[in-house]
Structure formats: structure tokens, C-alpha cells
Amino acid sequence: MILEKKESCGLFGIFGDAEAVQQTFLGLYSLQHRGQESAGIASSNGEFIQCYTGMGTVGRVFRSGSGLLEKLANPIVIGHVRYSTTGSSIQLNSQPLLSEYSHGQVAVAHNGNLINAQLLRDEYEAHGSIFKSTSDTEIITHLLAKPTHVSNPDPLAHVLNHLQGAYCLLFLFADRIEAARDPYGIRPLCVGQTEKGSYVVASESCAFDMVGAKFIREVEPGEIIRLDEKGLRSRFFVKPGTVTPAHCSFEHIYFAKQTSRIFGENVHEFRKKLGRQLAKEHPVEADVVIPIPDSGTSAAIGYAEQSKLPFDMGMVRSHYVGRTFISPDQKSRELEVKLKLAIVKEAVARKRIVVVDDSIVRGTTTRGKIRTLRQAGAKQIHMRVSCPPLRFPCFYGVDFPTKEELLANNRNIEQIKEFLEVDSIGYCSLEGLLGCATLPAENYCTACWTGKYKIPVDIPVNKFALER
């Protein structure tokens, strides 16, 4: 659990349920790991959309007794939890983003990063458009409102073809929800159905478990799913099979919840496979395997299974540390790590331990934990990481630090070992990682390890690029 890389957002939507707002609240709760900076819900009674967003977690924004959920009670609802990857963490950038244009109201919720947002915004501003936020999402509503786009037979499909980058989008119109996934399928999005028959759509299937819905399928790359009075209908804005997918491997390794099913398989099972692969590639004589909780836990179980070493909880994560005072900068991340992870001395003292984590970003927080394990009496520390060394930034919706700040940038394995002050270090190979996946290797994005970006990035995306 290294809090140096963050997901960009979580989405939830439900059509035609008397308790749609409560269901959305619960769905967003289960997606909270995808963003804790702000939360919002937009709902429609079929004619009029209302929206409320606020800073903080879902429970904080829609706290019990606030009366907000009651005020938003309508049968057609979308919701959003945010971690900022474009634009600051401020109220104006919280979502859903509600706008009004010549065809009525629309609320938009976005997970991902548009790599051509700056170009599009410059173009619109040159023609006098005024933007109220600094997030990349707002350009989408401007595109929708453009008269030549409005008159298109399928304005939404037409607009989506102007976007480049990673996006899963929920659009709430007064009478319907439209859910879209970019042609590369970078971020996950799936559709389900409740026992009462209402269709739901969410970033991860863990949200379906929360509202008693069954998983139907993933939204396909380049597909638009429309939920309205007639049920569920599908259409494609990019011809299926014309684009090779680039699913984000990091979703499987770190971001997604262990209970979720994404890219065709369960996250926990995938991470266990990675742990087994890691043990095959980097065995070591040791007394115990411990994870950095929670994201390293599944891989550590796999490592312990394969190496026939005992598994133990050498670190315990506190679930009672709120994020209300946490802002997304390095200093507060370090404080957060300190508050969240505590060492179980009895599990590590006088032992040769294998520490398993999902990845290492800057390495400073990992080194801090290694030092604490030494102070607790660990005899030897062997670091094992369930993905290759991170060397390149992500432009598709993950807030990594700059290339220069990444531990593996310009450092070889020996130098990384010295920096972290460990007795040995082993990373899962890229071939090993991709070999664990259900889908063919070419269906994944691996740019943060290889620097090969499947969607070319002409202008490197900067989180604050849209701020003056």
C-alpha cells in the first residue's frame, strides 16, 4: 500500500429504481478506493436534473442527517468519486458536472484522462467559450453543445470520436443514462442488473455486490450503452475489432478492488498468480512472507503458496484514519503512510522476511517502512515486487510523479537495492506479468514500464495544464 499513485475516479449509475439514490450512495461507497477527494450525485425525475457535489469522501459529502439523499431522490441517477489527474482538487472540479445547452441539461461523470483536452480547450477558448472548471471533462460538454455536433444524427457518438485518451463516461440526460468506454478500453466499466430488474453501470463490479446486482458484462471498448425506459441498448462509435485494446495493467496490479472482476477475471486471483510468478522468478531462503497491506496482500499469499513459506501479517493497516485533513501532496502522503501502517514486532523480530508489495514509485515511503522493520528486529529483508520497475509516467488517468521522481529512473537493480536498504530485491518481469493475464499480452497497456504509449501523446499531459 504505497500511497504515491492514485486512480482518477469511480463511476456508478442506475436507471429506473425507486431507491436509485441510496443505491448510488452505496455503489460509490464501494468505489471509494478509486478517489477520495470529492464525491457527487446527479439525479433526474425524467424531466429535470439536480446535482450535488462536495469535497471529501462519499460518507462525508452525503453524511447522515444532511437530507441530501432525500432531496436528490429520483429514479435515474449517476454518481462519481474523484481523485484529480487533470485540474486541482477543488470543488469546481468535482463531478458530475452539470451543464445546460440547447438540448436541455446534461450531467457528466468521467474516469480517465483526455490527452487532447488542452488542444480542444485552446480551440474553443479562441472562439470565446468560457470554462468554469480546470478539469479535462468540461470540454466534453462544450463539444456536445456545438451546433454542428448537435445536428449530427448521433451527437454523442460524434463527440466521442473527437476525444483522445482514456475515458469511461456516464452521461445523465433528463430521460436516460448513456455510458461510454474509449476504443482502447483503458479503464474498466461494466454493466449489471438488480434483482428488481434495474440496469446499473459501474467502474468495477464490486459496486454491484453492494447493491445486490448481478454482473452482466463489461462495456466493450468503443461501445455506448444506453439505459432508458426501453431497457438496455448498445451501439458502437468505433467499429468493433478495429482497435487493439490497451487495458491498464495497473488496474489489476493495484487500483481495482480484490473482489472486482475486470478485463475478464477476478482481481484477487490475478494478484495471487502474480505472487506465484514472482516466487518462481525470485526465490529466496527466508522464514516468513509479509505483505505491504492491502494491495500487496494477494500477491504475498501467492508468493507464500508457491515458495511454501509461512504467510504472516507483519504490518497492520489502520482503517480508522480518515482522509479529511489529507491533501494530495508528498508530505501528506508520508504522514498518511505513517498513520496507516503499523509493524507487528512479534511477527518480524529475528526473522528473515520477504516483503511483498504491488509496486514501488518514488521509493521513499518503502524505504521508511524497511527502516521500521529493521528497528523492529528483522534479521534480513528481501523485497519482492509484483510488477516490473516503473520508469515512465502515465498519461491515461493515473497520477504518477514525473519520470525524474520515479525510483527506477536512471537506477539499476543494485542501486535500487541500495536505496531501499534491503538485502535483496526482485521485480516480476513484464513477460511474467503478462503471462498471468487471461487476455493476450497485446491487449494491455504497459507504458509505465516500457515507455511505449499505444495512444501517441503529442503534448505530455500535465495535471495542471488547464490552469492559468
Q: What is the DSSP letter of 390?
A: P
State which of positions 257-316 bind ligand SF4 (CB under 6 A).
Answer: none
Does residue number 58 form part of the binding site for ligand SF4 (CB under 6 A)? no
Residue 256: phi, psi to the nearest 5? -70, 155
Q: What is the DSSP letter of 388?
A: P
Q: Give whichever of 186 and 288 is closer to ligand SF4, judged by the CB atom.
A: 186
Does residue number 248 form part of the binding site for ligand SF4 (CB under 6 A)? yes
Position among 250, 263, 270, 303 found at the interface with ligand SF4 (CB under 6 A): 250
Of all helices (H) and strands (E), which one includes residue 117? Answer: helix 117-126
Least distance (Å) between residue 86 CB and ligand SF4 = 14
Of all helices (H) and strands (E), which one includes residue 76? Answer: strand 76-82
Position among 186, 224, 301, 433 found at the interface with ligand SF4 (CB under 6 A): 186
Q: Which stretch binds ligand SF4 (CB under 6 A): 136-144, 415-423, 441-449, 458-466?
A: 441-449
Does residue number 170 form part of the binding site for ligand SF4 (CB under 6 A)? no
Cα separation of 214 and 200, whole Å? 9
The beta-strand segments (E) located in 300-373 are 315-317, 341-343, 352-357
Q: Which stretch binds ligand SF4 (CB under 6 A): 56-64, 224-232, 350-358, 442-450?
A: 442-450
State which of positions 88-147 bind ligand SF4 (CB under 6 A).
Answer: none
Instruction: Write the interaction track for ligand SF4 spanning residues 187-226; mark x where CB under 6 A is met and - where it is not.
Output: ----------------------------------------
Q: Give whichever of 26 and 387 is closer to ligand SF4, judged by the CB atom.
A: 387
In this structure, the dihedral spanned by the alpha carbons of residues 86, 92, 95 and 99, taken in order and rounded to 10 degrees, is -110
Does residue number 256 form part of the binding site for ligand SF4 (CB under 6 A)? no
Q: Give whichever of 172 and 398 is closer to ligand SF4, judged by the CB atom.
A: 398
Least distance (Å) between residue 219 CB and ligand SF4 = 17
Cell of 328: 494530495
Which of 14, 30, 25, 34 minimizes the C-alpha distance to 61? Answer: 25
Please check whether residue 373 is in contact with residue 353, taking contact to mean a CB–CB distance below 8 angstroms. Answer: yes
Cα separation of 118 and 136, whole Å? 8
Q: Give whichever of 231 and 435 is closer to ligand SF4, judged by the CB atom.
A: 435
Does residue number 61 form part of the binding site for ligand SF4 (CB under 6 A)? no
Q: Give whichever of 65 and 456 is closer to ligand SF4, judged by the CB atom.
A: 456
* Distance, C-alpha 56 to centroid of its chain: 17
Residues near ligand SF4 (CB under 6 A), total: 11
Cα separation of 209 and 201, whole Å? 12
Q: Give whichever of 373 and 394 is closer to ligand SF4, judged by the CB atom.
A: 394
Task: Quickly count: other Cβ atoms within 10 Å of residue 27's Cβ.
Answer: 31
CA R_g for the chain: 22
Please check whether residue 20 is in contact with residue 77, taking contact to mean a CB–CB distance below 8 angstroms. Answer: yes
Position among 448, 455, 461, 466 found at the interface with ligand SF4 (CB under 6 A): 448
Does residue number 425 form part of the binding site for ligand SF4 (CB under 6 A)? no
Q: Which stretch binds ligand SF4 (CB under 6 A): 13-21, 271-279, 317-325, 390-398?
A: 390-398
In this structure, the dihedral spanned by the alpha carbons of residues 407, 413, 415 and 420, taken in order and rounded to 10 degrees, is 60
Position among 84, 137, 249, 277 found at the interface with ligand SF4 (CB under 6 A): 249
Classify burial at 350, counting beta carbons within 10 Å of its beta carbon; exposed 0-12, middle 13-18, buried 19 or more.
Answer: exposed
Angle at 297 between CA 380 and CA 270, to 5 degrees: 125
Angle at 25 between CA 19 and CA 30, to 5 degrees: 125
Angle at 244 between CA 241 and CA 248, to 5 degrees: 130
Does residue number 420 form part of the binding site for ligand SF4 (CB under 6 A)? no
Position among 394, 428, 433, 437 found at the interface with ligand SF4 (CB under 6 A): 394
- Please, what is the end-to-end C-alpha distance for the chain in angstroms? 34
Least distance (Å) between residue 447 CB and ligand SF4 = 4
Q: Give whichever of 39 and 447 is closer to ligand SF4, judged by the CB atom.
A: 447
SS3 308: coil
206 is catalytic: no
Position among 219, 225, 447, 455 found at the interface with ligand SF4 (CB under 6 A): 447
Q: Are strands 288-291 and 352-357 parallel, antiparallel or unpaired?
A: parallel
Least distance (Å) between residue 364 CB and ligand SF4 = 20
Q: Give whichever of 296 and 314 is closer to ligand SF4, judged by the CB atom.
A: 296
Q: Give whichever of 163 and 448 is closer to ligand SF4, judged by the CB atom.
A: 448
The beta-strand segments (E) located in 264-379 are 265-266, 288-291, 315-317, 341-343, 352-357
Least distance (Å) between residue 374 CB and ligand SF4 = 31
Q: Show which residues are catalytic.
A: 9
Binding site for ligand SF4 (CB under 6 A): 186, 248-250, 394, 396, 398, 445-448
